[in-house]
Structure 1
Amino acid sequence: MDLFFIFVKKILKIMEGRKHLYILILAVLSFCPSFLPAMSERNLRILSELDQTISQKAVWQGERETRIRMLKNRLHKTMDPGRKYLLCDSLFIEYLHYQADSSLHYLNEKAACLAADPALGSKAGILINRSEVLGVMGMYFEALQELHNVNVQELEEPVLAYYYGVCKRIEGWMADYTPEAEGKKKYLDRTDLYRDSVLKMMDSEIDQTIMKAERLILHHQADSAVRLLTGCLEKSPAKQQKIYVYYTLSDAYDALGDVENRIYWLAQTAILDLKTAVREYAALQRLARLLYEQGDLERAYRYLNCSMEDAVACNARLRFLEVTEFYPIIDRAYVAKENRERLMMHRMLLLVSVLAVMLIVLLSWLWIWMRKLSAMRKELYTANRELQVVNDQLEQTGKIKEVYIVRYLERCVSYLEKLEHYRRLLEKLAMASKIDELFKMIRSEQFLRDERKKFYGEFDKSFLDLFPNFVEDFNLLLVEDGRIYPKPHELLNTELRIFALIRLGVTDTTQIAHFLGYSLATVYSYRSKMRNRAKGDKDHFEQDVMKL
């Protein structure tokens, strides 16, 4: 039998590894819509609390282990037989529903103390203890054999109540263990008889209420049992009593077909079972079955694994058999669910892959268009800048035209007036027969020199009105020792005037020579001399002048 449990523990370790995989899969699929039946808010809260309690199971069991270590330390240090007997009894109780093999060991130690000193207790108590622990271990025939060895007539009332209680529990376990209906009814009837015996000897009102509620459920009066147990909870029962009240309430609601309330009270029972660090319990595996029927396969699987681990650790064969009877069903369902979820994951991965490819294509397309758009923006910006330059040039050209047209018209009118005045003067001389003076004025160039000088002055003034910084900007294009400046009484000199015409767009040498009254050679000479003085590229000197 020990080899059997070693084999089971190895299976549990393998299953534990699979459990992590299942949990990972479920964590991924938790983002998918849930198809579980709706559950009340109260049950969701209590199941969440149970999940938290299971995750802290090691903490509660650690507290029990601490108590056990303290008792063992005291046992090892004491030499007093009476004290040793009591400590063995305490260890028997601590281990009873936690690790049945160890409980049996300390019961044997207790029996050895009693054999050494019969005054410490009764042999019947040892037999009942052994029957109880054998019942926990699932050895019902051996447990009943121990009870048959008890002389009931010699038992005092407290021990007799304990005896009937153990008999009731063993008969109940045998009823749970028996699949055949007639045999189950026989054990249930015996359980009911022992319940009557226990009721007669009980002092605690709460314990009596629990027993009465069990009887009411057995006799199909679950409504009355619920009322009794609900009232019992208002009397602040002890923790162990509360466990029995909760579990019996779950049985009552089971008889009534109330699934929601049954889930709630089974969860309450399981929480207290785990917090009291017992490993031999029935509530959690029954809750697992119920949740499986409700479609909560993930919780059912975890609860069933927890129950199996504790049943194996406690060596509670009945609980282990209850779990293994149901485990293949839930395991197949879990594997089927895992396969469905894996298929769903593959489909999701395929869908995500397709979407990722589409996204990459879309991003690539957007990137290409963003680059095109960026290039188009740059081109548009350059075009805008060029357009702005052209607009500025047009504006300046318009201003030049406006200024020079006005000056041209004024100059034309002035020339007409001067010509009229000159004609009249010549006419007077002719009429006065002053022939010598007439020829003298006709042959004189002073009039033309004066007019040309006035024309240059007006041109210089008009040009500098348009380009007030021309002289400074023009000299910046020349090397330092080649710069030219007009004389104090001048606005522009000949060189500046030639390049002022070039700035206005008059680049033809013939036109410049005609406009200024110079020879072509003079204009060529000035232009060549200025190019040689250029600071930058001499070939682009005049283009740079036109940009001033």
Structure 2
Amino acid sequence: MKKQRILLLLLLSILSSFGIYAQDTSLDEVLKELDEAIGQKKMYHQQRASQIESLKKKLQHSTDSWEQYNIYGALSSIYLHFQADSALYYVNRKASLLQQLNRPELYNQIYLNRAEVFGLMGMYNEASEELKKLKVSELENDALEYYYRSYRVYYGWLADYTADRSARQKYIDMTEAYRDSILTLDTENFDRKLILAEKELQNRNMDEAISLLNTLLEKQNDLQRKAYLYYTLSEAYEMKKQADRQAYYLAQSAICDMKLANREYAALQRLANLVYDRGELSRAYLYLNCAMEDAVDCNARLRFMEVAAIYPIIDKAYKEKDQQEKAVTRWMLAILSLFVIILIVLSFYFYYWMKKLSLMRKNLYMANRNLVTANQELAQTGKIKEVYIARYLDRCVSYLEKLEQYRRSLEKLAMASKIDELFKTIRSEQFLRDERKAFYTEFDKSFLDLFPNFIEDFNKLLVDDGKIYPKSGELLNTELRIFALIRLGVTDATRIAHFLGYSLATVYNYRSKIRNKAVGDKDRFEQEVMNL
């Protein structure tokens, strides 16, 4: 029988190492799923807020003290990993009803609830004081398990928080002692099985722990419990020095935390450290920012300190990467500026030849008037026109083809990172115009997203025959775009002219023309636009 057990454990270990008990989802896929969950965090928080609001409405209509006590308990529970201050508030609201209920045995529950919240908030002295108030002799089996679990968590927090090695070891020993106390209880529930797995990890029996955890995971549908199981599995694989499997289960635990709208958690910040080691700097920065934001909102001090310990390292690396990208952008802008200068020179060159061509056509036309007959003069003039127009068109087509070649060669050089050769190339004029047009389109879209009723509200300030509407296919025309900038606070005409690529006089003319069509005080017209 003993041999069979050993063979079974060996088989489970092999299967576990090949990921049989894990989902087939790869680490990259589960990280993408986590990214999506973080993107939907606001939605999950709104769902949690809706649950809270529903309980508060139920509380408003409740007149029974016992029902109110239970609703306060539900609210403190739902706030526990979401907003610790509120969780403590509702625990105290529960306590305020004990005299009315005449249930002195419930004081132990209040002490345990407070200790749990205080521990999460990093108020360890207060948590200890609450636990000392308990009358352990009055606790029944479930309450006694809650008591042992609270002390186990309390000493676990202290062990994580303490820098002194000897003190930390003392707290770890106390944590293990209370874990053993839970195992002495005559219970057969999820917490006991999870603690058995933790006990195996403590004894460095990683494969046995993984087997127990996977068995629990197969039968578990509760997201909070799955989050605990995934996190404990990550610890097992950390002990086995399998970083990818550790990251996989940390990501699964973090997904559960996001979907539960938890703000107090440990998985995401630990995962950030692992993905940073994998070279995924942007993702690590995203995870740390999310964890930092949630820890602050929940008032979970230890979690905040965990994030703060590694945040400067990743933040510095992220900023260095950002500076490198900005440097590349500056190089590209310099190249683009050089291209614009060359394009201007070429424009003057073509303008010179167009003027010369026009003069030649005029001279030829005057010469043709001296020909023998008008028909010959017209025929000759038409022939000259065809020749010069054809030459002009050929030159334009040839120029366009060269610009297209320049653009393609620039793309190839850019892809090959041949920076020195980039300065020897030119881009097409069409590219610059398209970019400017795309910029204005994006500006219009962004502005109308911010002020969707701007056109309608702006026209209310104008007389009927002076109302302005964009043409079909436009979002904003020039006049609307000028006053859109004014609405955004850009009132300096020089800046508006620079932004739109117009002369200062043109901008003044537009503003003056529209101001004269105002319904009310013309001197306050632009101020009213800024107030839309």
Q: Same fold (TM over 0.5)?
A: yes
2:278 matches 1:283: no
Encode CA deviations 1:135-181: one digit per residue, 9 max, x unaligned: 11100111012111212122110100111111111111111111222
2:289 alignment partner AA:
N
Instruction: Return the match for 2:133 from 111, 125, 149.
Output: 149
- Aligned pairs for 1:75-474 (under 5 A) are 75-119=59-103, 121-201=105-185, 203-204=187-188, 206-354=190-338, 382=383
1:57 alignment partner AA:
K
CA contact (8 A) 1:85 1:120 kept: no
2:50 matches 1:66: yes
Alpha carbons of structure 1 residues 170 and 353: separation in structure 2 relative to 1, 3 Å: same
Alpha carbons of structure 1 residues 364 and 48: separation in structure 2 relative to 1, 3 Å: farther
Distance (Å, rounded) in 2 between the aligned partners of 1:268 and 1:370: 69
Q: SS of the counterpart of 1:122?
A: helix
User: Aligned pairs, how many?
Assistant: 346
CA contact (8 A) 1:282 1:319 kept: yes
Q: SS of the counterpart of 1:188?
A: helix
Distance (Å, rounded) in 1 between the aligned partners of 2:58 and 2:221: 31
1:246 alignment partner AA:
Y
Distance (Å, rounded) in 1 between the aligned partners of 2:171 and 2:104: 35
Instruction: Return the match for 1:53 from 18, 23, 37.
Output: 37
Alpha carbons of structure 1 residues 63 and 188: separation in structure 2 relative to 1, 3 Å: same
Distance (Å, rounded) in 2 between the aligned partners of 1:314 and 1:194: 27
CA contact (8 A) 1:291 1:297 kept: yes
How far did 1:258 drift? 1.3
How far did 1:291 drift? 1.9
Q: SS of the counterpart of 2:103?
A: helix
How far did 1:84 drift? 0.9
How far did 1:359 drift? 6.8
Encode CA deviations 1:485-534: one digit per residue, 9 max, x unaligned: xxxxxxxxxxxxxxxxxxxxxxxxxxxxxxxxxxxxxxxxxxxxxxxxxx
Aligned-residue CA RMSD (Å): 3.2
Encode CA deviations 1:468-501: one digit per residue, 9 max, x unaligned: xxxxxxxxxxxxxxxxxxxxxxxxxxxxxxxxxx
Q: SS of the counterpart of 2:97?
A: helix
Distance (Å, rounded) in 2 between the aligned partners of 1:231 and 1:367: 81
CA contact (8 A) 1:206 1:237 kept: no
Q: Which position in structure 1 is the counterpart of 2:373?
A: none
Q: Which position in structure 2 is the counterpart of 1:443?
A: none
Q: Using the TM superposition, name which of 232-241 and 76-85 deviates more.
A: 232-241
2:96 alignment partner AA:
A
Distance (Å, rounded) in 2 between the aligned partners of 1:100 and 1:328: 26
Distance (Å, rounded) in 1 between the aligned partners of 2:43 and 2:134: 39
Q: Which position in structure 2 is the counterpart of 1:404?
A: none
Alpha carbons of structure 1 residues 370 and 94: separation in structure 2 relative to 1, 3 Å: same
Distance (Å, rounded) in 1 between the aligned partners of 2:243 and 2:356: 67
Distance (Å, rounded) in 2 between the aligned partners of 1:372 and 1:44: 64
Q: Using the TM superposition, name which of 93-102 and 202-211 deviates more.
A: 202-211
Distance (Å, rounded) in 2 between the aligned partners of 1:360 and 1:252: 66
Q: SS of the counterpart of 2:325?
A: helix
CA contact (8 A) 1:114 1:121 kept: no
Encode CA deviations 1:184-230: one digit per residue, 9 max, x unaligned: 22212211121122233374554333222222222222233223222
Distance (Å, rounded) in 2 between the aligned partners of 1:251 and 1:51: 22
Encode CA deviations 1:444-483: one digit per residue, 9 max, x unaligned: xxxxxxxxxxxxxxxxxxxxxxxxxxxxxxxxxxxxxxxx
Gaps of 5+ in 2: 1-23, 361-378, 388-532
> Which fold has the larger relative contact order, with Cα–Cα distance below 8 Å and residues 6 or more apart in sequence?
1
Distance (Å, rounded) in 1 between the aligned partners of 2:65 and 2:250: 43
Q: Which position in structure 1 is the counterpart of 2:5?
A: none
Q: TM-score, normalised by structure 1?
A: 0.57
Q: SS of the counterpart of 2:26?
A: helix
Alpha carbons of structure 1 residues 112 and 43: separation in structure 2 relative to 1, 3 Å: same
Identity of aligned residues (%): 44
1:271 alignment partner AA:
I
How far did 1:355 drift? 5.1
Distance (Å, rounded) in 1 between the aligned partners of 2:167 and 2:91: 32
Distance (Å, rounded) in 1 between the aligned partners of 2:136 and 2:325: 60
CA contact (8 A) 1:202 1:208 kept: no
Alpha carbons of structure 1 residues 339 and 73: separation in structure 2 relative to 1, 3 Å: same
How far did 1:358 drift? 5.7
1:82 alignment partner AA:
W
Q: TM-score, normalised by structure 2?
A: 0.59
Q: Which has the larger radius of gyration?
A: 1
Encode CA deviations 1:37-59: one digit per residue, 9 max, x unaligned: xxx98222212111111111111
CA contact (8 A) 1:161 1:202 kept: no
Q: SS of the counterpart of 1:201?
A: coil
How far did 1:120 drift? 7.5
Distance (Å, rounded) in 2 between the aligned partners of 1:209 and 1:132: 21
How far did 1:350 drift? 2.4
Distance (Å, rounded) in 2 between the aligned partners of 1:203 and 1:355: 78
